Amino acid sequence: MRVGTFYSIFAVLSTFLLLLPQTSAAQEVSVEASVNATEIGDQETLTLTVTINGSDGSGVFTPDPPETEGLALTQRTPGTRRNVSIVNGRVTQSFGFTWMLRPVAEGRARILPMEVVVAGETYRTEPIDINVVPQSQRPAQQPRVRDPFSAFQPPNPGPEPTPTPSERDIYIQVVPASASVWQHEQLVLEYRLFFREGIQLRQSRLTDSWDANGFWREEMEVDTRPVPRTVVRNGLRYNVITLKRAAVFPTRSGSLTIDPLRIESEAMLPFGRRDPFQSLFSMRSRFAPIELASPEVSITARPLPDGAPNDFSGAVGSYRLEAGLNRTRVATGDGITLRVSIRGEGNLATLGAPAVDLPASLEVLGPTSSVELDRSGNRVSGTKVFEWVLIPRARGSYTIPPVTFSWFNPETAQYRTDSSDAFTITAEGSPAGTTSPRTVQNGLPVGDVAPPLLHTGRWRDVRARRPLHERPLTWILLVVPLLLWGGTWITEEQRKRFAIDEARTRQRLAHPVSRKHLARASELLDSDEVASFYEELDRALTGFIGNQLNVSETGLTRKQLADLLLDHGVSGTETDRIISFLEVCDRGRFAPAGHTDADRKEALSDASTLIVMLNGRWSS
C-alpha cells in the first residue's frame, strides 16, 4: 500500500513539473561549478556539478568534460538535471551537469576552469582545489547495501546519531569595507552567515554583547526575515544571509581590534542525503546545538594630516551646510531663531555645533540640537540641526557673519570648508516700558511754534472806553494769577519733596508690584499660555530689582543686570541663580514647547524664593 502511495506522489510531482511553463521572465544568466567536498580520501569519489541559472534552456548545450590535475573522470558523459521552482509567483529554472571523478594520488588536486556556452555567450567557472588524504584519515563510512524488499519492511525503531555540521558546513564571515581608515572615518561591517544547502537553523541568538573598543558605533538596519541567496565558495555551494550591519568610527589612531560576533543556534542536517526522495519525504531529522563566532577584525586608523582649518572640530566624512533665520525684522526684546543644518555621511551623532560669531549686543540662548539618521543604506547618513535664539535688547541693525563648518574628506584626503551667507537683523521699536523721544525738526519740536502773523485785520478805537484800572475784570485778572502762582509754588515744592524721596517710594512699591505679577503667574499656571506665565515671572523679579535699586530694568542685558546686582552687595552665587532663572524665563517665553506643569510650578516657587532672598539682602 505504501509503495503505491509513493509512486502516486512521484507521478503527481512529475506531472506538475511537466505542466509548468517552459519559459520565464528574463533573468541574468550565471554559471557556477561546485563539488560535494573539498577534502576526500584516496578511495572516495568526488562529484562535480556545473549549474546554469537564469536560462530558459533554449541555448543550453552540454559542456565539455573538465580538465583536471590529480583527478580522473569515471565517465565522460555527464548526468543532467533540470530544476523548476516557483518563488512569489515567479518561475525560475536551473540546469545541472554532473561528473564523477576519482583521485589519482594523495596530495593536492585541482579542477581547472571550464568554459560553458549559453545562448551564444561563453561563461568561465572558477578553479577548484581539492585535498586528497589517506583513506585512514577520513571518517569511517557504513556500507550501503540496497535491499529490494526494504520498502515492505517496517522502519528500524533504533536510535540514530544526530549529525553535527562542521566548520565547513556553517560559519560566520565579517566583511569590513577597508582594513585601513582615517581616524573618525566611517567603516561599515557586515556579518554574513554561510551554511550548506539542506541545513536548517532555529532559535539563533547572541551569546554576549558585541563590543568595539576604541570605536563609536551605529547599528544599521538588516532584513528581519532575510531570503537566503546562493553562492559558491571554494567550490562548495552555500546559502548566505546577513546577520548584522554596523557602522564604526575609530575614535583614536593606531591599531584597533573589533571583537568576534558570537551566536548560539540549533542546526539540523537531514539524514539520508544521498537519496533525494528520502530527504524530501522523511522527517528523520534532529536539531543539534551549535556555537559560531566570526573572526576578529584588525583595523588600522591613520591620524588626520596637518593643515586643518581653525574651525575644524574633528568631523570626517562628506557634508553640506545650510543656515537661515526664521525672520529678519523683529521688535526689540523678541527672539529670532538661527537654524544651522549639516547633512551628509559621517558620525553625525557626535558632531559639535559650528562656531557662530554673534554680535556681543545680542543676547544668545542655546544652541539646542537634534539629529535624524538614515541607517537603511550602504552607509549611515542623516541631518543634524542646531538652533540659537537671538534677542536684540536695543533697536538697530545687527550683522551676523557667515556661518562656517569644516571637515576632512577621506576620499580626497583634503580638508573642506562650507559657509553660508551673512545675515542682517533689524530690531524695531523700543523695549516695553520706555518712552520714545519726540520727533524734532530744525532743533524745535514739531507743532510747538505758532505760524507767523500774515495780516492785521481791522483795528478798533479803544480811547473812548473806561480805563483798565476802573474795570473789575482788571482786578480779577491781577489777583487770579497771584493765586495760581501761589498754588503752583506749593505744588512744585511738594513735587520736589516727592522727587527727593522717589527711591523710597519705589521701594514701597516693590513688594505690591511683584506680588501682583506673581498672582497673575499663579492664575496662568494651569493654562496653555506658557509664554505669558514666564513673562509674568520675569516682570515680578526684574521689577522688584528695579524698584529696590531705583533703576529702569527695561532694556538691561543680562550682563548689565549681573554687574548691577554685584555692585549692590549680591554674592556671585546668588547672582548666578538670578541670571539662570531669567534665562529659564526667556526660554519659556520664546520656546514654550517642552515646559511641563512640574517645570512651571518649580519656576513659580523659584521666583518667590529669589525675591525673598533679595529682600533679606537689601533690608539688612
Q: What is the pLDDT of residue 45?
A: 87
- Residue labelled with grid coordinates 511537466: 18
Handedness of CA 220, 225, 227, 233 (dihedral sign): positive
What is the band of 593 on the pLDDT scale with cuts at 50, 70, 90?
A: confident
Give me the CATH number covering residue 199: 2.60.40
First and final CA of the chain: distance in angstroms? 112
Report the range of poorest mean pLDDT among 82-96, 337-351, 416-430, 470-484.
82-96
Give the C-alpha separation, 605 to 596, whole Å: 15
Compute the average pLDDT of residues 309-329: 94
pLDDT of residue 455: 57
Q: Are strands 297-302 and 254-258 parallel, antiparallel or unpaired?
A: antiparallel
Q: Do 269 and 181 share a structural domain?
A: yes
Residue 158 has pLDDT above 70, yes or no: no
Q: Using pLDDT thresholds of 50, 70 and 90, give the confidence band for residue 501.
A: low
Which of 23-37, 43-57, 176-190, 492-506 shows the lowest per-residue confidence on average (mean pLDDT)? 492-506
Taking residues 483-502, what's their average pLDDT?
75
For 152, the grid coordinates are 515492505
Instruction: Verify that 228 and 187 share a domain, yes or no.
Output: yes
Q: Would you tell me how many other CB atoms lie within 10 Å of the CB of residue 398?
A: 18
Peptide bond into 367 cis (omega under 30): yes
Q: Quick one: pLDDT band at residue 454, thresholds 50, 70, 90?
A: low
Mean pLDDT score, 562-581 = 90
DSSP state of 529: -
Residue 125 near residue 33 (C-beta atoms within 8 A): yes
**Pairwise CA distance, residues 234 & 247, whole Å:** 29
Domain termination site, one of 428, 453, 468 = 428
pLDDT at 162 over 80: no
Q: For 364-373, 458-467, 509-518, which range has the lowest pLDDT when averaged over its residues?
A: 458-467
What value does the mean pLDDT take over residues 572-584?
90
Residue 143 pLDDT more than 70? no
Q: Does residue 84 carry a pLDDT above 80?
A: no
Tell me if 264 is assigned to some domain: yes
Instruction: Report the pLDDT value the prediction gives residue 436, as an integer from 0 to 100.
Output: 44
Confidence of residue 310 (pLDDT cuts 50, 70, 90): very high
- Mean pLDDT value of segment 325-330: 93
Q: What grid cell was written down for 108?
A: 593536492
> Mean pLDDT over residues 378-390, rounded?
94
Provide the CA 152 distance to its chain's centre, in angstroms.
66
Q: What pLDDT does 21 receive?
A: 44
pLDDT band with cut points at 50, 70 and 90 for residue 448? very low
Q: Enumerate residues 6+ apart whose C-beta is below 8 A from 195.
A: 165, 169, 170, 201, 238, 239, 267
Q: Are residues 198 and 81 in the same domain?
A: no
Asked if the structure places residue 583 within a domain, the reply is yes
- Could you tell me if 176 and 293 lie in one domain? yes
- Residue 62, pLDDT > 70, answer yes
Average pLDDT over residues 568-573: 89
CATH number of the domain enclosing 562: 1.20.120
- pLDDT at position 547: 84
Tell whether the model's pLDDT for residue 271 goes beyond 60: no
Please tell me whether residues 285 and 322 are part of one structural domain.
no
- CA dist 220 and 197 (Å) reads 28
Choose one of 84, 119, 135: the last residue of a domain: 135
pLDDT at residue 602 tops 60? yes
Which DSSP helix (H) or strand (E) runs through 563?
A: helix 558-567
Please report, for residues 116, 274, 432, 506, 507, the alpha-carbon distance to residue 544 in angstroms, rounded to integers and kept in the order given: 94, 95, 16, 9, 8
Q: What pLDDT is attached to residue 379?
A: 93
Q: Do 101 and 125 fall into the same domain? A: yes
Q: Do residues 375 and 416 touch, judged by C-beta distance below 8 A? A: no
Q: What's the CA gap between 88 and 156, in Å, rounded?
A: 39
Decide if 512 is inside a domain: yes
Q: Reduce the DSSP state of residue 118 to 3 states and report it.
A: strand
Specify the 3-state DSSP secondary structure of 439: coil
pLDDT at 387: 94
The reported pLDDT for the residue numbered 280 is 46
Are 518 and 536 in contact by the 8 Å Cβ rule? The answer is yes
608-620 pLDDT, tens per residue?
999 988 988 887 6
* Whether residue 403 sits in one domain with residue 374: yes
Give the model's pLDDT for residue 497.
66
Nearest to residue 341, comparing CAs of 388, 386, 381? 386
- How do residues 175-208 score in pLDDT, each as one tens digit? 986 689 999 999 999 999 999 888 888 777 777 7
CATH at 25:
2.60.40.740
Task: Out of 30-39, 426-435, 451-460, 521-530, pick the least confident.
Answer: 451-460
Whether 368 shows a pLDDT value over 80: the answer reads: yes
Q: Does 175 fall in a domain?
A: yes
Residue 6: inside a domain? no
Confidence at residue 91, expressed as pLDDT on a 0 to 100 scale: 66
Average pLDDT over the chain reads 80
Would you state the pLDDT for residue 140? 60
Q: What is d(CA 387, CA 179) in angstroms, rounded to the nearest whole number?
A: 38
| Band (36; pLDDT cuts 50, 70, 90) | confident
In this prediction, residue 464 carries a pLDDT of 60
Residue 301: the pLDDT is 95
- Least confident interval from 57-66, 68-77, 89-98, 599-608: 89-98
Contacts of 115 (CB under 8 A, 6+ apart): 63, 64, 122, 123, 124
Q: Is 139 helix (H, G, I), strand (E, B) or coil?
A: coil
Amino acid at 585: C
Number of domains in the chain: 4
Residues in the chain: 620
Least confident of 136-145, 297-306, 533-542, 582-591: 136-145
- Tell me if 150 is assigned to some domain: no
Report pLDDT digits (tens) over 462-472: 566 677 677 78
Any domain includes 129: yes
Bridge partners, residue 95, by sequence:
52, 82
Q: Which of 67-81, 148-162, 588-602 has the lowest mean pLDDT?
A: 148-162
CA–CA gap between residue 475 and residue 473 (Å, rounded):
5
> What is the pLDDT, as a whole number, of residue 299?
93
Residue 439 lies in a domain: no
Q: How confident is the model at residue 437 (pLDDT cuts 50, 70, 90)?
A: very low
Average pLDDT over every residue of 268-297: 65
131-142 core/surface letters (b: 16 or more CB in 10 A; e: else): ebeeeeeeeeee
**Percent of the chain predicted with pLDDT > 70:** 78
Whether residues 175 and 285 share a domain: the answer is yes
Look up residue 150 and give its DSSP letter: G
Strands 107-111 and 115-118: unpaired
Q: What pTM does this model have?
A: 0.55
User: What integer pLDDT is reported at residue 85 of this predicted model?
Assistant: 67
Q: How distant, in Å, are the alpha carbons of 54, 82, 237 from that of 51?
A: 10, 10, 10
Q: Is the pLDDT of residue 55 over 50?
A: yes
Q: Are residues 70 and 122 in the same domain?
A: yes
Of 207-211, 500-504, 557-561, the range with the lowest mean pLDDT is 500-504
Judge if 295 and 357 occupy the same domain.
no
Indicate if 514 and 608 belong to the same structural domain.
yes
3-state percent helix, strand, coil for the chain, nearest multiple of 5: 25, 35, 40
Does 31 share its domain with 122? yes
Which of 82, 112, 135 is the endpoint of a domain?
135
Task: Check if the beta carbon of residue 260 is closer than 8 Å to that of residue 251.
Answer: no
CA dist 411 and 384 (Å) reads 22
Report pLDDT for 11.
47
Distance in angstroms (rounded) separating the CA atoms of residues 378 and 514:
60
Categorize the per-residue pLDDT at 390 as very low, low, confident or very high, splitting at 50, 70 and 90: very high
**SS3 for 457?**
coil
Domain that holds residue 93: 19-135
